Amino acid sequence: MPVGAHRFRTHPRVRIADKEIRLKILAPSLAALAGVALTQNLDAAHVEDQDLKLSLVLNLQPRAEVTDASDAGGGDFDVQAGASGEPDTADFYLRRLRTGIKGSYQDRWKFAGIINADDAGRRDQGTRALTVHQAYVGYEFGEDAIAHLVQGGLDYAFFNHATASNSSALFPIQRASAELLPVRGIGVAYRLSTPIVRFGVDAQNNTGDDGLVASESEGLVYTGRIEITGPGDLALGRFQETYLNKEGIGFIVGIEAGLNQDDRNAANTSSATSTVMGVDVVFHLEGLNVLAEYRTRTIETEPDAGASSEVDADILIVQAGYAFAVGPIVLEPAARYQIIDLDDANDDEALPYFVPATATTVSRDYGRSGNEIDVGINCYFNGHGNKLSLAYSMWEAEDGDADANIVRLQHQLNF
């Protein structure tokens, strides 16, 4: 048995901030980590040995939601049920519930095992079953400021940050661009990180991989993204929608492309190939945080018999927030405007706001084709680790009387 492994079993160390606790065995320390972390200003709680570093992670977002929506004919529309009818007085549910471990072995090997029960209690979901959210292992290598990572397993692709970067979002609701090829699956990945350029490519099972017995096989989803940040003091360490009132100035420009190939829609019927292109920019100046994004998608459907068809979509988003300290907390009012067009050939779409997700996918927090305005305010007690967010969304369909007015109050605990 390696010396490090033996030491880990006999007397691991639990570190909370600058404190160190020596424990006899590992199991009790893991059970206590969550409670200890909550009393230490959400500093990371982890078990550390000579070779192994193990951290507990949690993302918990309880939410209250009140809606007033109409269908295309002007009648009442229940957003949570995704059908015409009167909504409940209010809905309470867990927008996010994710917990697990992340760590490294001998510094070079990175791994994670995280489960989720997102949308537990949401009206269309009922009791949400636990699913595997992330489970991967990777090897990091490089010298000086240039790092490489190769990885395999279940994880987000380095692509479409609207899907993955919710814990540091400006609003408690996702950007609508998450609709155009959200990618989180099992596959392989490569990452390159330098002081100015970050790059990533992924190959995963396609987004609808379902094991259908069909006359043709399914393909894979391929994605790639490059990010360029400023030199020196203009550099931002990672892509976020908001950096609160961090000192200084910086920016990130991202360009990406994705291909979801030959995704079978149903056994022996048709397959679809989605091509997505996107560009986004984040800009930070003291308390000001601005994001602009444009994303396009083309879906080509190939029936097993008959002619193919093609649908184009595009989404344009501009948002900004300004964060300032008020005593021990930070407040951040914010505004966002979204133009959502999921079928460019049809300028008169009159679909209602929302259709619920299936039992295995997360519901959406944005409307379908139309215009959406979001305004809100964040109250940060300890950065993104402990914050309270209030947001109001006003959406109107391209045509008809379909609209939605939604108020959401959400707390986030994240470490």
Q: What is the pLDDT of residue 360?
A: 46
Q: What is the pLDDT of residue 399?
A: 92
| Confidence at 27, pLDDT banded by 50, 70, 90 | very low
Residue spans in the chain of domains classed CATH 2.40.160.10: 51-414
Measure the CA–CA gap between 161 and 254, rounded to whole angstroms.
10
- Mean per-residue pLDDT, 109-122: 91
- Mean per-residue pLDDT, 292-301: 96
| Contacts for 334 with CB less than 8 Å, ≥ 6 apart | 170, 171, 242, 319, 320, 321, 322, 374, 375, 376, 377, 378
Q: What is the pLDDT of residue 67?
A: 93
> Is residue 84 over pLDDT 90?
no
Q: What is the pLDDT of residue 16?
A: 40
Residue of higher predicted confidence among 315 and 364: 315
- Mean per-residue pLDDT, 127-137: 85
> What does the mean pLDDT of the chain come to?
85
| Confidence at 268, pLDDT banded by 50, 70, 90 | low
Residue of higher predicted confidence among 254 and 214: 254
| Contacts for 129 with CB less than 8 Å, ≥ 6 apart | 117
Measure the CA–CA gap between 49 and 359, rounded to whole angstroms.
40
- Mean per-residue pLDDT, 269-273: 85
Q: What is the pLDDT of residue 218?
A: 80
Tens digit of each residue's pLDDT (9 = 90 or more) over 146-197: 999 999 999 999 999 998 878 999 999 999 999 999 999 999 999 999 999 9
Q: What is the pLDDT of residue 315?
A: 97
**CA 149, 150, 156, 161 torsion-angle sign:** positive
Tens digit of each residue's pLDDT (9 = 90 or more) over 206-221: 876 665 555 567 889 9
Q: What is the pLDDT of residue 267?
A: 62
User: pTM value?
Assistant: 0.84
What is the topology classification, in CATH, of domain 51-414? Porin (2.40.160)
Residue of higher predicted confidence among 32 and 377: 377
Tell me what percent of the residues of the chain surpass a pLDDT of 90: 65
Tens digit of each residue's pLDDT (9 = 90 or more) over 334-353: 999 999 999 999 989 888 88
Q: What is the pLDDT of residue 133?
A: 94
- Mean per-residue pLDDT, 366-386: 96
> Is residue 37 over pLDDT 90?
no
Residue of higher predicted confidence among 74 and 214: 74
Whether the Cβ atoms of residue 190 and residue 223 lie closer than 8 Å to each other: no
Residue of higher predicted confidence among 119 and 46: 119
Q: What is the pLDDT of residue 40?
A: 40
- Mean per-residue pLDDT, 391-408: 95
Q: What is the C-alpha radius of gyration for the chain, rounded to an integer number of angstroms? A: 22
Tell me the β-bridge partners of 415: none
> Is residue 113 over pLDDT 80?
yes
Token pair 């420009």 is found at 253
- Mean per-residue pLDDT, 70-82: 88
Query: Which among 18-22, 71-75, 224-228, 343-347 has the top mean pLDDT?
Result: 224-228
Whether the Cβ atoms of residue 77 and residue 84 lie closer than 8 Å to each other: yes
Q: What is the pLDDT of residue 271?
A: 84
- Mean per-residue pLDDT, 118-130: 71
3-class SS letters over the chain: CCHHHHHHHHCCEEEECCEEEECCCHHHHHHHHHHHHHCCCCCCEEEECCCEEEEEEEEEEEEEEEEEEECCCCCEEECCCCEECCCCCCEEEEEEEEEEEEEEECCCEEEEEEEECCCECCCCCCCCCCEEEEEEEEEEEEECCEEEEEEEEEEECCCCHHHHCCCCCCCCCCCHHHHCCCCEEEEEEEEEECCCEEEEEEEEECCCCCCCCCCCCCCEEEEEEEEEECCHHHCCCCCCCCCCCCCCEEEEEEEEEEEEEEEEEECCCEEEEEEEEEEEEEEEECCEEEEEEEEEEEEEEEECCCCCEEEEEEEEEEEEEECEEECCEEEEEEEEEEEEECCCCCCCCCCCCCCCCCCCCCCCCCCCCEEEEEEEEEEECECECEEEEEEEEEEEECCCCCEEEEEEEEEEEEC
Measure the CA–CA gap between 57 and 67, rounded to whole angstroms.
32
> Is residue 4 over pLDDT 50?
no
| Confidence at 379, pLDDT banded by 50, 70, 90 | very high
